[in-house]
Amino acid sequence: MGDPRPPDRRPPDPRPPDRLPARPHLLVTGGAGFIGSAYVRDVLARDDGIRITVLDKLTYAGNEANLGAIAADPHQAARFRFVRGDIADAAVVGPLVADADAVVNFAAESHVDRSILDPEAFLVTGVIGVHVLLEAIRAEASRAAAGERAASPRYLQVSTDEVYGSVEAGHSKEGDRLDPRSPYSAAKAAGELLVQSYHVTHGTDTVVTRGSNTYGPFHHPEKLIPLFVTNALDDLPLPLYGDGMQHRDWLYVSDHAGAIDHVLHHGLPGETYNVPGDAELPNREVVTRLLEHLGKPWSLVRRVEDRPGHDRRYAMDGSKLAALGWRNRIAFDEGLASTVEWFRANEAWWRAIKSGDWTAYYERQYGARLAGSTEAG
Ligand code: NAD
Ligand code: TDX
């Protein structure tokens, strides 16, 4: 007798097995920022029993309002806890890591321009903070070896394409030389190297993701797309650095968060995965498209003094992540349209950020630049 079932024509599942236990408890550090909060919102919305504790220092970039949707939903709120604290504080970190099945570390100072003005916090969080998290995991590995817990927590470090430095041609692969060129990217590279050293030396179960330029709702208005969208809504000048022909590869925030979750579950221990976007574009083209969405004129754009050490191009090869079974879902034009709409509809969110300390930052970063600006042509 033959098998009566029709043949299974589905392609084989390329994903390696899930590395986390069922219904894991995740410690998400930096989860009140732009990408971390998207990750927390998306994972809790799946309603699959995962619990999340967010540890966030609430720097100028952290915002509890980014997690407001969770508090408003009792099903999600029951599986969520928020702790305000610093990843560089071992007394805070230790008990939280002891209670976690995995740590997903988004916490960092994330703006290149601020790393040029004031680099110290980038190093404290990006290097000492990562060191404190890794030491807490090492302590849990000892407890696991002594039979005091089932397994030591997995650690995922959220890193960036900027660690490769400026890529004049071709696409960076995970094994390429790191060549960071700003204090921000140097701190990110240092954090990654520390993570890798714990995998090699202590056998820590680590994975690293290198994401490209991310955009979407809740993006802090210091960054290119939200700064230009919110300035344009107010008919304020748009300060384009240099000739505006620097290339970035844009990745929608839910795709970045989804890729991180995929690597957390399926990534192989000790491995690093590029997370590229789908749209390598010069900044001028990005600005042209967002002005079209807004119905605002190019005359708002001003050519200002360039960022020192400005990386000309980032571009990554995504075949390793694709082989792990991940695909991005949101194309750039679709993502940009919904991002512009989100900023139109959420003025109260960004106006609250563009007040107080923002004014002094804006003056320091852009005051002289705008005074000496020319037409962007
Ligand atoms: P963000 O600046 O919006 O958020 C960072 C969060 O970390 C904030 O909530 C902040 O309060 C918190 N934080 C900072 N220092 C902390 C500390 N010492 N202890 C605890 N919390 C602290 O950043 P983002 O854009 O969401 O980026 C998140 C991560 O992704 C960063 O590691 C960044 O390097 C990386 N990344 C960002 C992009 C991008 O385009 N935004 C691309 C690739 C990688
Ligand atoms: O006012 C501006 N004018 C301008 O021309 C700003 C803020 C930016 N730019 C340019 C600089 C870059 O070429 O736009 C491009 C994008 O700038 P940012 O939004 O500051 O991002 P970038 O420096 O590329 O870094 C981002 O992507 C990688 C994130 O901020 C990092 O956290 C991430 O690691």
Q: What is the pLDDT of residues 269-279, one digit of tens each?
A: 999 999 999 99
Report percent pLDDT > 90 for the chain.
95
Residue found under tokens 């990745």 = 251
Residue of 39, 106, 215, 248 to test ligand 1 pocket, by largest number of atoms within 8 Å of CB: 106
Phi, then psi, of 109 in degrees rounded to 5: -80, 130
Q: Quick one: which ligand is closest to 225's CA?
A: 2
CB 165 within 8 A of CB 180: yes
CA distance 173 to 315: 9
Q: Quick one: which ligand is closest to 122's CA?
A: 1
Q: What are the pLDDT digits (tens) for 43-85?
A: 999 989 999 999 999 999 999 999 999 999 999 999 999 999 9
Q: Which of 184, 198, 252, 314 is catalytic?
A: 184
CA distance 179 to 163: 6
Rg (the chain; Cα; Å): 21
For residue 29, the cross-strand partners are 55, 105
CA distance 196 to 157: 10
Confidence class for position 183, pLDDT limits 50, 70, 90 = very high
Single pTM value for the model? 0.97
Task: Provide the pLDDT for residue 1.
Answer: 43
Task: Provide the pLDDT for residue 14.
Answer: 73
CA distance 150 to 144: 6
Ligand 2 geometric centre to CA of 334 (Å): 20
CA distance 318 to 284: 25
Residue 161 is among the residues annotated as catalytic for this protein: yes
Nearest partner of 45 among 8, 2, 79, judged by Cα: 79
Confidence class for position 4, pLDDT limits 50, 70, 90 = low
Find all residues with CB under 8 Å of 23, minimum gap 6, and list them: 48, 49, 50, 51
